[in-house]
Amino acid sequence: MPAIIESSVVAEIPGPLSKAAAKQLDSVWDSRAVYFVADYDKSEGNYIVDVDGNKFLDVYSQIASIPVGYNNPALIEAAKSPEMISALVNRPAVGNFPSSQWHDILKNGLLRIHPEGLDKIFTAQSGSEANELAFKAAMMLHRRKERGEGVDWTHEETSSCIENSKPGSPDLAVLSFANSFHGRGFGSLSTTRSKAVHKLDIPSFDWPKATFPALKYPLEKHVEENAAEEKRSLDEVEKLITSWRFPVVALIVEPIQSEGGDNHASPAFFQGLRDLTKKHGVTFIVDEVQTGFGATGKFWGHSHWNLTSPPDIVTFSKKAQTAGYFFGDRQLVPDKAYRQFNTWIGDPARVIMSGAVVREILDKKLVEQTARVGEVLYAELEKLAAKYPEYIKNLRGKGQGTYIAFDTVDSATLVKSMKKLFVNIGTCGVNTVRLRPMLIFEESHIPTLLAALEKVIESMSLIW
């Protein structure tokens, strides 16, 4: 596959056909966030093609959610399978009337890659929903322990909850970190702390926010400072848990804060969170919506931590092509049926796709590949950073597969210019460029990415 293909249209991204299509779409749909309109039939592997015929190396991957490439043959096969047709046509309320295949779909799909110690699953449809279901499981568990095993609900509880009043609707908090992103539902949004654009004007719960460690780079030059910073954050977390106005029943954290700027912390920090949450009986939820499914060079981001005991809940979505959460503790199954429930409980069609994704990742050893390619990519970026230290700052993600990011001067301009050189790349945080290639990204794609990046930085340094 050519690195950058020739195109008759280079002057304008989005091109005229993309613009016209977006305008037409806007008559029925809010299309203001459209970068370009894609021709998925012509897209393949790591390359996305737009309606103007422009072909981009895609290291953004539908906001980090395409796992194994456009028009992947194994996924096409799954999409054509008889069980897929049935799941699409006979969409079940899986809680009441699961199909005879449902167990095997889960067992031979998502459960093949369940995080260690977390071998039970609840399916959902988005990362946001998965996180809220995790919060609810934590809340029910907290009240179950408080109530005492086997103690029945009181009339006061069941009647007051209908009024949205205590004691049935208690004040219970989920702790999250500054700059985190956990979704946009009213519960998940209350834990999202990254940007005003997500949160403004929306009522939220009075839940605590801890500051995430602000590490200094390069890490090897700031070992003591960073350790002290992580200690400070852990102390703050413990203080919030023990002093908040009402019980903190869950703590949610991303292995790498992604939307909030690709902020990392050390395994020791996360072990500290595991210890604190265990000590205080707080459900430890690891949000692997963006980090899960291999991009960090391990299947799960939290596997880098070598925790002494697993998280209580791990949520997933994006590259899984479906969503949900894994858990181990059977008490996270509520005391009664129908408490954690909804009509569809996920979508078997999407769970079938996730099974095909898992098979492809394992068969082709794509996590191992990502770890290997990531090392090369990081080393190349390190060289470029040495050449343009103003434009590639705080390079991070070493040893984290292709989950690499850096700060720059004007990330919006950089990614816009990259598109003109046919590389589709994304931003996060304030002025951060995040790489989110698919798991099929190879060494051979690195020169294309690096050449475009260097060209853009050169131009920026020239004209600014």
- Residues numbered 286-345 forming contacts with a second copy, rule: CB under 8 A: 317-318, 321, 333, 336-344
**CB of residue 99 to a second copy, shortest distance in Å:** 5
Q: 36, 284, 315, 318: which one is catalytic?
A: 318
* Site membership for a second copy, residue 126 (CB under 8 A): yes
Stretch touching a second copy by CB under 8 A, among 79-87, 373-381, 411-419, 441-449: 79-87
Radius of gyration, alpha carbons of the chain? 23
The catalytic position among 154, 158, 242, 343 is: 343
Which of 11, 28, 462, 463 is close enough to bind a second copy by CB under 8 A?
28
Distance of CA 280 to the CA centre of its chain: 27
Closest CA to 312 of 74, 141, 125, 72: 141
Q: Does the protein bind a second copy through residue 353 (CB under 8 A)?
A: yes
Please answer whether residues 87 and 348 qualify as being in contact, where contact means their C-beta atoms are separated by less than 8 angstroms: yes
Rule CB under 8 A: is residue 461 a binding residue for a second copy? no
Residue 179 or 402 having the CB closest to a second copy:
179
Output the smallest distance, CB 261 to a second copy, in A.
14
Catalytic residue among 52, 58, 287, 407: 287
Provide the residue type at 182 as one letter. Answer: H
| Identity of the residue, 205 or 388, whose beta carbon is nearer to a second copy in the bound complex | 205
Question: What is the SS3 string spanning 7-65?
Answer: CCCCCCCCCHHHHHHHHHHHCCCCCCCCCCCECCCCCEECEEEECCCCEEEECCHHHHC
Closer residue to a second copy (CB): 163 or 224 = 163
Q: Which residues, 6+ apart, have CB-to-CB distance to 79 below 8 Å?
A: 353
- Beta strands 426-428 and 423-424: pairing type? unpaired
Nearer to a second copy, 11 or 196 (CB): 196
For residue 399, the minimal CB distance to a second copy (Å) is 26
- Is 55 or 304 the residue whose CB approaches a second copy more closely? 55
| Side chain identity at residue 447, one-letter code | P
Judge whether 287 counts as a catalytic residue.
yes
Q: Which residue has the tokens 């590389």?
A: 423
- Rounded Cα distance, 272 and 256, in Å: 16
Scanning the structure block, which residue is given the tokens 């569809």? 344
Give the C-alpha separation, 155 to 336, whole Å: 16
Shortest Cβ 52–a second copy spacing (Å): 10
Least distance from C-beta 223 to a second copy, angstroms? 30
Q: How many residues bind a second copy (CB under 8 A)?
A: 124
Establish whether the linkage from the previous residue to 255 is cis, with ω within 30° of 0: no
Identify the residue among 15, 55, 134, 143 touching a second copy (CB under 8 A).
Answer: 143
Spatial separation of the C-alpha atoms in residues 340 and 258, rounded to whole Å: 28
Distance CA 339, CA 352 (A): 26
Q: CB 155 → a second copy: shortest distance, Å?
A: 10
* 35 interacts with a second copy by CB under 8 A: yes
Q: Which of residues 164-223 bind a second copy (CB under 8 A)?
A: 164, 168-172, 178, 183-188, 190, 193, 195-207, 209
Nearer of residues 140 and 252 to a second copy, judged by Cβ: 140
State which residue, 148 or 203, has the beta carbon closest to a second copy: 203
CA–CA distance from 395 to each of 156, 262, 392 (Å)?
Answer: 55, 10, 7
For a second copy, the binding residue among 15, 36, 316, 445 (CB under 8 A) is 36
> Which residues face 50 on adjacent strands?
38
Report the alpha-carbon distance of residue 102 to residue 46 in Å, rounded.
32
- 38 contributes a contact to a second copy by CB under 8 A: yes
Residue 433: CB minimum distance to a second copy, A: 16
By beta-carbon proximity to a second copy, the closer residue of 349 and 446 is: 349
Q: Give the DSSP H/E element, type plus range, for residue 85.
A: helix 82-89
d(CA 400, CA 299): 11
List binders of a second copy among 80-109 (CB under 8 A).
80, 82, 84-86, 88-93, 95-100, 102-103, 106-107
Q: Which is nearer to a second copy, 341 or 464 (CB)?
A: 341
Chain-centroid distance of CA 211 in Å reads 20
| Smallest gap from residue 237 Cβ to a second copy (A) | 17
Quote the distance between the C-alpha of residue 396 and its chain's center: 17
Q: State which of positions 45-74 bind a second copy (CB under 8 A).
A: 48, 51, 62-63, 65-66, 70-72
Stretch of 34-42, 361-369, 387-395, 431-439 lying at the interface with a second copy (CB under 8 A):
34-42
Q: Does 29 bind a second copy (CB under 8 A)?
A: yes
Give me the amino acid identity at 46: N
Q: Residues 437-452, buried b or exposed e (16+ Cβ, 10 A)?
A: bbbbbeeebbebbbeb
Q: How far is the CB of 32 from a second copy (least distance, A)?
A: 4
Catalytic-residue membership of 406: no
Residues with a catalytic annotation lie at: 181, 287, 318, 343
